[in-house]
Amino acid sequence: MRALRFGLLLLLIHELQARNWWLEEAGDGARVVVETGVTCEILPGNKLSIPVGMPIRSAKEIKQGGETFYSGYPAIAPNSLCRVSLASTVVWHKGEAENLLLAILDHALVRKGATFEDLVTVENYLINNDGRWQTQAGRDQISGKLQFRWLQLLSRAVGLQGFKEDQPLVEWLNG
């Protein structure tokens, strides 16, 4: 009986880890950061790094100097007003969760200056926020378009400075 409870606990922990709680709490139509390396100034001289997949709450559109920004509160720092470029965000709809993943992958793939670490961050987001990526049976449930973009991401990562064959990305691919 004890082993059964432990097994159920492990399943529950796995399920809880493979979720983005910030997204689940965000309202439908929220702006979500889809680019790595996004920062905002929360106080003069104090920058906050906003991770991929982070909703910006109460986002209001601001046009300044020919650019469009969203001013709002990142879920990671709900009391800190931030300004994030329009190009670094997309609108997220709960019923179209795969579109967010595609947008994150597409942003990483078109960024000219994307580093190996940026691409690993994106791949980690996929794995940590959608449990299907963690097993072959789960990956079989993912659309071909999303899997293709993921393979493009891996292909690009292999060609960048910082790639070493003994890193977890390769271990995971070969595992």
Please state the domain extents for the chain. Answer: 18-92, 95-174
CA atoms within 13 A on the CB side of 151: 8
Mean pLDDT of the chain: 80
DSSP-derived pairing of the beta strands 30-33 and 38-43: unpaired
pLDDT at 134: 80
Confidence (pTM): 0.76
Residues 6+ apart with CB under 8 A from 12: none
Query: Order of strands across the sheet with 55-64?
Result: 82-85, 67-74, 55-64, 30-33, 89-92
Look up residue 11 and give its two tokens. Answer: 């399943």
pLDDT at 155: 86
Cβ contact 149:109 at 8 Å: yes
